[in-house]
Structure 1
Amino acid sequence: MLTALSQVVDPELRCDIINLGLVYGLAIDNDGTATVKLTLTTMRCPLTTILDKMITDALITIEEITRVNINLVWEPAWTTAKMTRYAKMALGIHN
């Protein structure tokens, strides 16, 4: 699932949601339902619907997955500290 989600690129930041640190949890139930615990960089992100579709499209290609459930969460709040070194370098963040 991580490989599939690493192909989901935030259209504004041009970096994938895994390296951005937006995915807080992943699970697959026995019935094939994949649940993604996800946050966004801002609460009023205009790309929520687009990202939901991109995530669903990426995960539904995995044979074991029959359905995708996305749980949007705001706790803990996302910060740039959740980003990987790769994402920070790609976005020019030096801290």
Structure 2
Amino acid sequence: MRLLKNILLFQRQIFFVSYFLAIMVGVLFGGELVLIGLSFLVIAPFAQFFFYDLKNKNQYYYYYNLGFNNIKLWASTIIIGLINLLILILI
């Protein structure tokens, strides 16, 4: 449970910005839910790169102290994007 809570804490800053941009891109290119899911899958890693690698490199240290390395945090972003895409395909 602690693991999931910390991953969601990490994803909080990325998720809303990425989802807003994904909805805008999806509507711009046709408005289908699959396009929104695909654009979220692309935008979320870019948002993570911008927020955590360029803007706030020191925030990674907080997650390192919790036991997460860079690979786990990037994997969580990709997995959440894939889950989101799967949900939007099934709708």
TM-score by length of 2: 0.32
Flag the structure with higher helix content. 2
TM-score by length of 1: 0.32
Flag the structure with higher strand content. 1
